[in-house]
Structure 1
Amino acid sequence: MIYIVIPVHNRRHYTLGCLACLSRQTVTAQQVIVVDDGSTDGTSEQIRTNFPDTTVLTGDGSLWWAGATNLGIRYVIQTFSLNDDDFILTLNDDTKVDPDYLASLSMAYQAHKPCIVGSVSVDVNSPQRLLYAGTGLNLRMPNIEDWANTRFKNSYTLLKTTSPYLVSDSLPGRGLFIPRAVFNTIGYFDDLRFRHHMADLDFSIRARQAGFPLVVSSFSVVYEYADATGVNMNQPMPLGQFVKALSAIKSPINYRTRYHFAVKHASLPYIYFAVDMLRILLGYLRRQLKAVAYQNK
């Protein structure tokens, strides 16, 4: 059985679209658990009407990604008698998947077990644009190599012709196929230090260090609404917005989150954190200067 945990908040259109994809899977041994963290747009009501077999758990809006995901996982573990053939799949609602998605994840696991299987991510509006295909991680200095860009030039076609599986240093939470044994070994997502961003990064690193390889399945594809998530740090922004992003929970540059990651995982945590924040600041300045130069042309 595959238990699919999806945290949601006020994105009814995306949520219903994701659930529709799951209802068309060739693997029918599945149970979907949606954790609705305080939505006010009628998400829970629509799920119960359109997908009555889906379990809906509710929060008060304070859970964020890690807390909501943990709530769903705890529900599964406490409610069902899981065995070695059962899995928990974490999935974001701003995604679509093909009908053979669950089958491809299961096949990848059988080829590499025991392991955690991660999904390839592509742009839902441009499916050949590769967004995620594994990472190389440096815990001495803050550098995460994005293989989608460095190895495959953001081309899904190139990835498919290269390798069906990749062994990564970390995995994201959108499309994370986890056997029960992982939770027995390392516990849940760290929702105290990483409420939203980097909870999946921390979890996958802990799992790898505990002996579970992180395998990216090239044919397990998540179609991602790339513009629907968090703060976009690839675009220029006013200084005030940048300063707010440094402490916003949904921001990937939240300094508390990055500090906790450095302390927990880096070999030289304080140097790692200082260099990381300097890199973020210089990146912001570089984007602003490019924007000014472009406007002055």
Structure 2
Amino acid sequence: MITIVIPVHNRKTLTQQCLGYLAAQTYRNFRVIVVDDGSTDGTSQMIQDEFPDTLIIRGTGNLWWTEATNWGIRFAQEHPAPGYEEHFILTLNDDTVVRPDYLQTLLDTYEQHKPCLVGSPSADVNSPEKLRFAGTHMELWFASGRDAAADYNYDYNELLRRTDFVQSDSLPGRGTLIPMSVFDKIGLYDSKRFSHYMSDIEFSVRAKKAGFPLIISTKSMVLEYTDATGLFLSAKEKETWKDFVTSFTSIRSPTNLTVRYNFALAHGKTKHLYFLVDVLRISMGFLKRKYLMAK
């Protein structure tokens, strides 16, 4: 049994589409929990009307991604579906598109590498052949890791031609299959230190340290609406110094300094040095983009 946990907030159309793709899955032993964190656009009513089998948990509007996901996982722990020997959590975002065989390919990969966590490669919905994610090579000494997608020239077809799976050093929460036993061993997502961004990365690094391999199922592609996700500076046509400063403080930013610092203390092997190098890397990336825009 797969319990799919989807945190949502005021994105009714995206949520509707995501649930529609899940309804078309060939693998049928699953249930969906939507944690609606204070939506005011009629999201919950739409779900009740169009997807009545979906369980809705209503939040306060202050949960953000991490605690909203934890609410769904806790419900699954406290209310396991009877009659199944194995139980999984699939974390998923509502701004995603998946194929009808998505759940089946995740499970097939799990069976080949179990016990493990199984993640998904991703691409933008407008450029489905251009890989955005296919795993990471994470270096925890001096924050100098890189994306595994570069190993395949960011080409999804090349990834499919060359391998069925990729071993990764971290996994995002957008499309990750997790055996319930992992939560029993290492706990839930850390919502105190990572309220929105990097809780998924931190959790997966923690899981790998506990002995669970992190595997990318190359056939389990997730297409995402990247423009609808968080605060991404590089997606802007004209990136300003104000944007740069805001990215260091916004809860919706993956480069929030508090979050990066907390990760450095939790998993960086050089702690404060890791954090300083990480900030320098982010800053140099911004300066490089400014230089290229000025040319």
Interval containing the TM-score (normalised by the shorter chain): over 0.9
Q: Normalized against structure 1, the TM-score is what?
A: 0.96
Q: CA deviation at 1:81?
A: 5.4
Partner of residue 91, structure 1:
92
| Contact 2:137/2:146 (<8 A) preserved | yes
Q: CA deviation at 1:143?
A: 2.2
- After the TM superposition, which residues 246-265 of structure 1 pair with which residues of structure 2 at under 5 Å, given as runs? 246-265=248-267
Partner of residue 207, structure 1:
207
Q: Is 1:101 the equivalent of 2:72?
A: no
- Higher mean alpha-carbon deviation, 153-162 vs 234-243, is at 234-243
Unpaired stretches in structure 1, ≥5 consecutive residues: none
Q: Deviations over 1:24-70 (max 9, x none)?
A: 01111111000011111111110111100000111111111111000
**C-alpha RMSD of the superposition:** 1.2
Partner of residue 221, structure 2:
221
Partner of residue 192, structure 1:
192
Q: CA deviation at 1:84?
A: 4.8
- Aligned to 2:130, the other structure's residue is in SS state strand
Counterpart Cα distance in 1 of 2:243 and 2:220:
36
| Contact 1:120/1:222 (<8 A) preserved | yes
Counterpart Cα distance in 1 of 2:39 and 2:197:
20
- Aligned to 2:104, the other structure's residue is in SS state helix
| Contact 2:134/2:147 (<8 A) preserved | yes
Counterpart Cα distance in 2 of 1:279 and 1:108:
34
- Higher mean alpha-carbon deviation, 116-125 vs 258-267, is at 116-125
Q: Deviations over 1:122-142 (max 9, x none)?
A: 221221111111110000011
Counterpart Cα distance in 2 of 1:241 and 1:232:
10
- Aligned to 1:128, the other structure's residue is in SS state coil
- Aligned to 2:66, the other structure's residue is in SS state helix
Partner of residue 23, structure 2:
23
Compared with structure 1, are the counterparts of its residues 84 and 199 closer, same or farther at alpha carbon in structure 2 (3 Å cutoff)? farther
- Higher mean alpha-carbon deviation, 123-132 vs 40-49, is at 123-132
Counterpart Cα distance in 1 of 2:145 and 2:194:
18
Partner of residue 282, structure 2:
280
Counterpart Cα distance in 1 of 2:233 and 2:267:
23
* Number of corresponding residues: 292
- Aligned to 2:35, the other structure's residue is in SS state strand
Residue type of the partner of 1:217?
A: S
- After the TM superposition, which residues 1-297 of structure 1 pair with which residues of structure 2 at under 5 Å, given as runs? 1-80=1-80, 84-148=85-149, 150-234=150-234, 235=236, 236-293=238-295
- Aligned to 2:233, the other structure's residue is in SS state coil
Counterpart Cα distance in 1 of 2:241 and 2:165:
41
Q: Deviations over 1:184-213 (max 9, x none)?
A: 100100111111111110000110110111
| Contact 1:109/1:116 (<8 A) preserved | yes
Counterpart Cα distance in 2 of 1:286 and 1:26:
45
Q: CA deviation at 1:180?
A: 1.1
Residue type of the partner of 2:32?
A: V
Unpaired stretches in structure 2, ≥5 consecutive residues: none
Residue type of the partner of 2:94?
A: D
Counterpart Cα distance in 2 of 1:285 and 1:165:
35
Counterpart Cα distance in 2 of 1:12 and 1:156:
29
User: Which ranges of 4 or more aligned residues in structure 1 deviate by more than 6 Å?
Assistant: none
Counterpart Cα distance in 2 of 1:291 and 1:180:
47
Q: Deviations over 1:98-154 (max 9, x none)?
A: 111111111111111111100111221221111111110000011231111x20111
Q: CA deviation at 1:241?
A: 2.2
- Aligned to 1:80, the other structure's residue is in SS state coil
